[in-house]
Amino acid sequence: MSTQKVAIVTGAARGIGAGVAKRLAADGLAVAVLDLDAGACADTVSAITGDGGKAIAVGADVSKEESVKAAVEKVVEELGPPTVLVNNAGILRDNLLFKMSVDDWDAVLGVHLRGAFNMSKACQKHMVDAGWGRIVNLSSTSALGNRGQANYSAAKAGMQGFTKTLAIELGQFGVTANAIAPGFIATEMTAATAERVGVPFEDFKKAAAAEIPVQRTGLPEDIAHTASFFASEGAGFVSGQVIYVAGGPKD
């Protein structure tokens, strides 16, 4: 077995996850590009292999324990034991509280929180065995509260508590856990929000940029850079932290 480190990035068919997967591959890791549909991962995988990196596509629903177990076994067989995990898969089901259905609540909590729990649980054994690991969880500025996102903001605040607990439990095994809380990042997720509120995406981005201190919206590469830092060897003394990557301060 090679000594190349193995990473799993969930929700990596597109958007932030694809950006993180490409960056970790460029950093020298073998990357399992995991998403609901393995076929949808083809673009990310070929971008990585085209640049001389190593990647495989893995289909799994992170909210389902059996699906996650099978996916992690596949990664172990094809790439080796995963010691870097980026819990990025996510969905939106926005609505004001009085209109939000129980299904919309459960779906969002299921992908973000149960998904991160399932993935972390399935991967931690490999990290503990290796005496080294890095878990990076995607939170959001919505963790601070956001109109129309009772489900999503609860999930993203939950990701922060989950991260801190993993840091406390797994630190003794050489495993760190940290969270990235992005602000506005231009992806299909934010494009879908623009469509839902009936604003052209370019106008939506322009309005958002005007409110951001650095006067631009974010890119998947901005998040990938932070994930690369958390996953790095040198970040071993950084654990249980939340970095807001939002073009300005948040609290």
Q: Judged by CB under 6 A, does residue 190 bind ligand NAP?
A: yes
CA distance 43 to 110: 26
Site string for ligand NAP, 97-136 (x = CB under 6 A): --------------x---x---------------------
CA distance 174 to 187: 33
Cβ atoms of 118 and 64 within 8 Å: the answer is yes
| In the complex, minimum distance from the CB of residue 21 to ligand NAP, in angstroms, rounded to a whole number | 11
Q: What are phi and psi of 138, to 5 degrees?
A: -90, 110
User: Closest CB to ligand NAP among 91 and 243?
Assistant: 91
Tell me if residue 152 is catalytic: yes
**Which of the ranges 73-81, 187-195, 204-212, 235-243 carries the binding residues for ligand NAP, by CB under 6 A?**
187-195
Q: Which amino acid is at 108?
A: V
User: Closest CB to ligand NAP among 173 and 193?
Assistant: 193
Q: Judged by CB under 6 A, does residue 247 bind ligand NAP?
A: no
**Which of the ranges 46-54, 169-177, 180-188, 196-204 carries the binding residues for ligand NAP, by CB under 6 A?**
180-188
User: Closest CB to ligand NAP among 1 and 102?
Assistant: 102
- Nearest 5 degrees, angle CA 188-CA 121-CA 5? 75
Which residue has 């996102």 as its token pair? 149
Among 24, 84, 89, 170, binds ligand NAP (CB under 6 A): 89
DSSP state of 71: H
| In the complex, minimum distance from the CB of residue 211 to ligand NAP, in angstroms, rounded to a whole number | 13
Q: Judged by CB under 6 A, does residue 17 bind ligand NAP?
A: yes
CA distance 251 to 238: 19
Which residue has 């879908």 as its token pair? 192
Q: Number of H helices and number of E strands within the chain?
A: 9, 7
Torsion of CA 56, 59, 62, 64, to 10 degrees: -140
* Touching ligand NAP, residues 20-79 (CB under 6 A): 35-37, 61-63
**Which of the ranges 44-52, 161-169, 183-191, 207-215 carries the binding residues for ligand NAP, by CB under 6 A?**
183-191
Closest CA to 84 of 130, 50, 15, 52: 130
At 176, list the tokens.
Answer: 């760190």
CA distance 45 to 53: 9
The active-site residue out of 152, 162, 204, 230 is 152
Among 51, 103, 169, 188, binds ligand NAP (CB under 6 A): 188
Size of the site for ligand NAP (CB under 6 A): 28
Residues involved in catalysis: 152
For ligand NAP, the binding residues (CB under 6 A) are 10-11, 13-17, 35-37, 61-63, 88-91, 111, 115, 138, 140, 182, 184-185, 187-190
